[in-house]
Structure 1
C-alpha cells in the first residue's frame, strides 16, 4: 500500500526524501497514532514557517490540514487543486524531509484536495487500523462543500490562500437603507448576491460609483456576506490590497499562484478601484477580469467616478467595465437622510436606551447635513456625546451648536471633481493638464499646481493622501505644503486672492 522511499506516487513525483537527522530519533514515538501525528504536524509546520519564511508559509501552508493517519502514512489536505499542484512542484522535498525527521518510520505522505476527495477522519488514540465495513463505506462518502465562513463572529481572512480585506458585520443588507438615489444599485447588488455558484448573472461586471460616503462599501460588503452564506467562495478586496497581494507575489516568485487562485473564486469584489496603480498591476487586473467574466463568474467593483473618468486606468479595463452595468448612487435625498437617521438612532438606543432625539432635531439634521452618510453618523455621535457626557437633553438648540461645522454652505453642495479643477486651473494658467501632473519644477507650472491642490482640498472632501495620488502620485506632505503656501499668499496678495476666487467660481458653476 505504501512505498518505502519518497512520497506517494502521483503526489510528489521526482523527489526523494533526505535521510533523517540523527538528533530527530529522540522524538520518534513508540507508536504512531493520531495524537502523536498531530504533535508531529505542529512541529513540521513550525519548521516550514521558520525555514521558508512567514509569507511563503501563509500563502501555501496556512490552509493545509492533517486529515488522517493510516498504518505508517499520513494524509494532508488543501482546499484547491492548484494549491496541491503548486506544493507538489515547489515544496515537496522540505515537506517530506521534515515529516521523516519527525517520524523516521513513516512510509507515505499523501496530499489531497479537501473538496474533491473522501476524507478519512483521524483515528482516536488506540484504535486499530482495520475498520468495520460500515465505517469504511462511510469514509468514502463525498465531503459536502462548505460555505466560506464569512460570519459576524470571525470574518474571513483569506480565500484559497489569498488575503482578503476585512468585513464589517454591521454592513449588510439588513442595515442598508434604500431610497430613490440608490434603488437601482441595491436591486442589482441583491440579484448578484443571491445567485448560486455556477449561475450566470445578467449584469457582469456590476460597477457602482458615487461620491464619498454614499454607501458603496456598505453595498459591496453586504454582497460578500449574503453570497458567502449561500456557499459561494467570495473574495472582497480593496484596490490597495489587490496591489499589495500582486506585488508580494512577484517578490516571492508566486505570481502564477496568485493569478490562478484569483481565477478560481466564485465572486470577486473590488472596492476603491480608483486607487489601482501600476502598469503590471492593471494588466493583471484586466486579465483576471476577463477570465472571470468569460467564465460566467460575477465581478463587482466600486469607485468614486464612472469608468470613462478613471483616466489613470488602462483603456481596455475601462472599456470592459463600461460594458457591464455601471450604476451611480446619487446624493442622499432628504427623505432618505431622515430614514438613515431613524435607523441609526434605533441602533444607538439598543446600547443607550435613554438616548432620545425629538422629531424636530431629526428633521433639522436631515435638512442641514447633506453631504453624505458618514456626516450623518458624525452628527449623531456628537449628539450622543453631549447627551451622555454632559447629561444635556437633545434639543434643537443643542443640535445647532453640536453640528455647526457639519452644516455646509450652498457653494459646497455641488459635487466637484479633481479632474475638473486640474483642467480649469491649467486652462487659466496657459499650461496643459499633463504639465500639472508632471514632475516639472518651473515657476509657471509649480504655482498653478499648488493652486489646484489648494482648491482640491477646499472644494472637495478628498483627503491629503488621495489628492496627492490624483496629482501624479505625490506625497500628502507635498499637498499640505501647497495648501499652506496658497493660504498664506491669498492673505498677503489681494490680486492673487481675487484670481483664486475667480477660479473657485468657474469650478462651481
Structure 2
C-alpha cells in the first residue's frame, strides 16, 4: 500500500515537473515573441523617422534643414508619443514653436497611433520646461566714476562675455529734465524700469525723436534703475551697430546658436539707434529675438530717430510689432524745458568744482536762442563756462551773443517726410495722393509721380527701395529711372526747373 502510495506520489511529482517545464517554456516563448515584436516596432518607427527626415529636407530645403533639423535625433515612440532630442534648450524651443505642428502631422501620416511629439534636450532625463533658458547667466552692474558701467550676461561657455555697451553714469532719471515734449516718454520709461519681472503693457517701448532730445539718456536711465531695483535682472544694452557686429562675428565663428540663446535668455533688452541696423539677415534675427522676448514676457525697449513706419529695410510685420506696444515721441524742447536743462547743467558743473556765475538774463538768452537740441544747449553752456573759468572774464549778454553766434544761426529744420512731398506735389499738379501711389500710367499722373520720387531722393535720407515702397511698392529700379529722368529734364526744361524749385521751397518751409 505504501509502495503504491509512493508510486502515485512519484507520478504526481513527475507530472508537476513536466507541467512546470511546459509553463516555463511557454513563458520563454512568449518573452521571445514580445521581444521580437518590440524590435520590429522600433525598426518600423526608425524607418518612419528616416522617411520624415526626407520629407523635411524636401519641404523646407537644405539650408533650413541643416540649421534646425539636422541635430534632431529619434529616441522612441512610447505611449503614443514620438520622443526626439536636440542638443540645446534654444533648439528645443525653436523647433517646438515653429515646426512642432508639422512634425506631429508627419508622424501621424507615418504612424497613425502617434498623438504628440515630445522634443527633449539630450542629457536631461525629463522634458525641459516650456520657458527654458541656457546655463545660469551672470549679472553685474558696476557704478563707478572711473569706469563705465557694464551689464554683463555671460554665455554658458564661461570664456566669453556677452557684454553690454557702457552706460553713462550721468544719464539717470534723477538728471533727466522733464517737460511737455518728453513727459510721456519719461513716464513710460520709468514705468518699464520699475516694473521688474511683472512686465508692463508697454512692450515693446519704442522711443523716437530728433538728435539731442534725450532718447539715449532715457535708455541708460532705464538700465540703471532696473539694475538698482533688481540686481538679478538680466539686462543687455547695445547699439544697433554693436548688434550687427556681434551677430556677424557669431555667424563667422560658428557660434550663432549660443548667440541666439544668450539673447533670448535676457530679461530686459535695450537697443539704441535702431535706424542704423543693416542687412536682411540681421533684420530677420532682430525680429525673431524681439518676438521671442516679448512672447516670453521679457521687456524690449527701442530707440530711433524716426517712428517704426519710417524705418528702412524692415518688413511690415516687424514694423507692426514695433508699433504694437507703445510708440512715444520726444518733440522739440520748449523754452521752459530748455531753461530747465541749462539750470541742471549749471548745477552739475558746480558739483564738479566749476562754479559758473551766469545771470538770469544770459540763461534766458541762451535758452531762447539755442532751440535745436539739448546737445547744442550743453555746448553753448560749456563755451560760456570756459570763458568764465579759464579766461576769468565775466559772462555778459554781449559776450554770450558773440560766443554762441554760430549755434543761434543753426536752427533745426523739421524733418521732411515722403508723405509731405506727396501731398505738396499732388496739390500742385491737382491730382490726388492716391493717384501718385497707384498703378495708373497716364502722363498726367506719371510725371508728378516721377517728380515726387525725385524730390524724395533729394530731400530725404530714404533709400531707393524705401521710396519705392512708399509709392505703391514699386521696385527701386523704377525710382532710379524716375530720378535720372527728372535730372535729365532739369538741364533743358526751365519751366520744370522752376516748378521743382517752387515745390522744394514749399516742402522745406512746411507749407501745404
TM-score, length basis structure 1: 0.57
In structure 1, what is the equivalent of residue 174 of structure 2? 174
Q: CA RMSD in A?
A: 3.8
Larger Rg: 2
Per-residue CA shift, 1:382-403, capped at 9, x if unaligned?
A: 2122323432211111111111
Cα distance change on mapping 1:249 and 1:425 into 2, 3 Å: farther
With over 3 angstroms needed to count, the CA separation of the structure-2 counterparts of 1:201 and 1:354, relative to structure 1, is closer
Which residue of the partner structure matches residue 318 of structure 1?
Answer: 319
Residue 455 of structure 1 and its aligned partner are, at CA, apart by: 4.5
Please show how residues 133-148 of structure 1 align to structure 2 within 5 Å.
147-148=139-140
* Shift in CA distance, 299/251, structure 1 to aligned 2, threshold 3 Å: same
Deviation string, structure 1 residues 48-68 (Cα, Å, up to 9, x no partner): xxxxxxxxxxxxxxxxxxxxx
Deviation at 1:358, TM superposition (A): 0.5
Matched residues in 2 for 1:204 and 1:383: separation?
A: 42
1:201 lines up with 2:200 in the alignment: yes
Corresponding position of 2:371: 370
1:213 aligns with 2:207: no
- Checking the alignment, whether the CA contact within 8 Å between 2:207 and 2:302 is kept in structure 1 is yes
Cα gap change, 1:449 to 1:394, in 2 (>3 Å): farther
Aligned to 2:163: 163
Cα deviation 1:467-499 (Å, max 9, x = unaligned): 4x75679xxxxxxxxxxxx9xx99xx9996995
Secondary structure at the counterpart of residue 216 of structure 2? helix
In the TM superposition, residue 502 of structure 1 has moved relative to its aligned partner by 4.5
C-alpha distance in structure 2 between counterparts of 1:217 and 1:397, whole Å = 34
SS at match of 2:200: coil
The answer to whether the Cα contact below 8 Å between 1:236 and 1:269 also exists between their aligned partners in 2 is: yes
Please say if residues 82 and 261 of structure 1, whose CA atoms lie closer than 8 Å, have aligned partners that are also in contact. no
SS across alignment from 2:198:
coil
Q: CA deviation at 1:505?
A: 2.4
Indicate conservation of the 8 Å contact 1:147/1:228, yes or no.
no
Instruction: Determine the C-alpha separation between the residues in 2 that align with 1:295 and 1:341.
Output: 42
Q: Residues 19-418 of structure 1: matches in 2 within 5 Å? A: 147-152=139-144, 153-156=147-150, 158-160=152-154, 161-196=161-196, 198-229=197-228, 230-231=230-231, 232-408=233-409, 413-417=412-416
Residue matched to 1:71: none
User: Quick check: 1:421–1:455 contact (8 Å CA) kept in 2?
Assistant: no
How far did residue 253 of structure 1 move? 1.2
**The residue matched to 1:162 in structure 2 has which SS?**
coil
Moved more, 311-320 or 494-503: 494-503
Q: CA 1:407–1:247 in 2, change beyond 3 Å: closer, same or farther?
A: same
Question: Cα 1:422–1:502, aligned 2, differ >3 Å: closer, same or farther?
Answer: closer
Question: C-alpha distance in 1, partners of 2:404/2:498?
Answer: 29
Residues 316 and 367 (structure 1), Cα distance of their counterparts in 2 relative to 1, 3 Å cut? same
The 1:282–1:145 alpha-carbon spacing in structure 2 relative to 1, beyond 3 Å, is closer
Aligned equivalents of 1:318 and 1:312: distance in 2? 10
Distance in 1 between the 2:382 and 2:463 partners? 31
In 2, Cα distance between equivalents of 1:498 and 1:356: 53
Quote how far apart the aligned CAs of 1:416 are.
1.7
User: SS in structure 2 opposite 1:407?
Assistant: helix
For residues 203 and 286 of structure 2, the distance between their equivalents in structure 1, rounded to whole angstroms, comes to 15
Following the alignment from structure 1 to structure 2, what is the Cα–Cα distance between the partners of residues 413 and 176? 22
CA distance in 1, matches of 2:297, 2:502: 51
From the superposition, tell whether residues 154 and 212 of structure 1 become closer, same or farther in structure 2 (CA, over 3 Å): closer
The 3 A distance-change label for structure 1 pair 308 and 451 is closer
Using the TM superposition, give the Cα deviation of residue 418 of structure 1 relative to its aligned residue in structure 2, in angstroms: 5.5
* Whole-angstrom distance in 2 between the partners of 1:211 and 1:148: 32
1:176, 1:306 → 2: CA distance?
22
Residue deviations 1:303-322, cap 9 Å, x none?
Answer: 11221222421211111111
Contact 1:239–1:270, Cα closer than 8 Å, also in 2:
yes
The 2-side partners of 1:279 and 1:145 are apart by: 29
Higher helix share: 2
Distance 2:498 2:402 in 1: 31
Unaligned runs of 5+ in 2: 1-87, 93-135, 155-160, 438-448, 467-486
Work out whether residues 150 and 225 of structure 1, in 8 Å CA contact, stay in contact via their aligned partners in 2.
no
Q: CA deviation at 1:185?
A: 1.2
Q: Provide closer, same or farther for how the CA distance between residues 346 and 472 of structure 1 changes in structure 2, counting only shifts above 3 A.
A: farther
The 1:155/1:497 distance shift into structure 2, 3 A limit, reads farther
Cα distance change on mapping 1:399 and 1:304 into 2, 3 Å: same
In structure 2, the CA distance between the partners of 1:354 and 1:297, relative to structure 1 (3 Å rule), is closer
SS at match of 2:269: strand
Contact residue 280 and residue 313 of structure 2 kept, 8 A: no
Aligned counterparts of 1:420 and 1:390: Cα–Cα separation in 2? 50
Q: How far off is 1:211 after superposition? A: 1.2
Quote the residue 2:116 is aligned against.
none
Question: Hey, what does 1:23 align to over in structure 2?
Answer: none
Paired with 2:413 and 2:365, the residues of 1 have a C-alpha distance of 20
